[in-house]
């Protein structure tokens, strides 16, 4: 499961009516980008990221990123 660091919502360049969602998640000492499925029946994709890549991802499109609030280990 892991702790969600941030969620990004953005419009698909190929289909302006589709909103895509991905999340950066930390599990132990590892980071994963979880790409939510764009269409029903598709599977979510998990891509492992290095710490440096996490910061690059956060800087990529900051206006699209919703930062998670974590209090006492619980995501609010």
**How high is the pLDDT of residue 71?**
60
Domain ranges in the chain are 3-75
| Mean pLDDT of the 32-60 span | 91
The answer to whether the pTM exceeds 0.75 is yes
2 vs 45: CA distance, rounded Å:
15
71 vs 18: CA distance, rounded Å:
32
Q: Are 22 and 33 spatial neighbours (Cβ–Cβ below 8 Å)?
A: yes
**How high is the pLDDT of residue 29?**
92
pLDDT, tens digit, 9 for 90 and up, residues 4-41:
889 998 887 777 788 888 999 999 999 999 999 888 89
């Amino acid at each position: 499961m892991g702790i969600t660091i941030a969620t990004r919502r953005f419009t698909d360049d190929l289909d302006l009516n589709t909103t895509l969602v991905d999340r950066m998640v930390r599990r132990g000492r590892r980071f994963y980008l979880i790409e939510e499925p764009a269409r029903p029946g598709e599977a979510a994709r998990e891509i492992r990221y290095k710490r440096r890549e996490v910061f690059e991802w956060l800087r990529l499109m900051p206006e699209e990123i919703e930062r998670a609030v974590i209090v006492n280990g619980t995501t609010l």
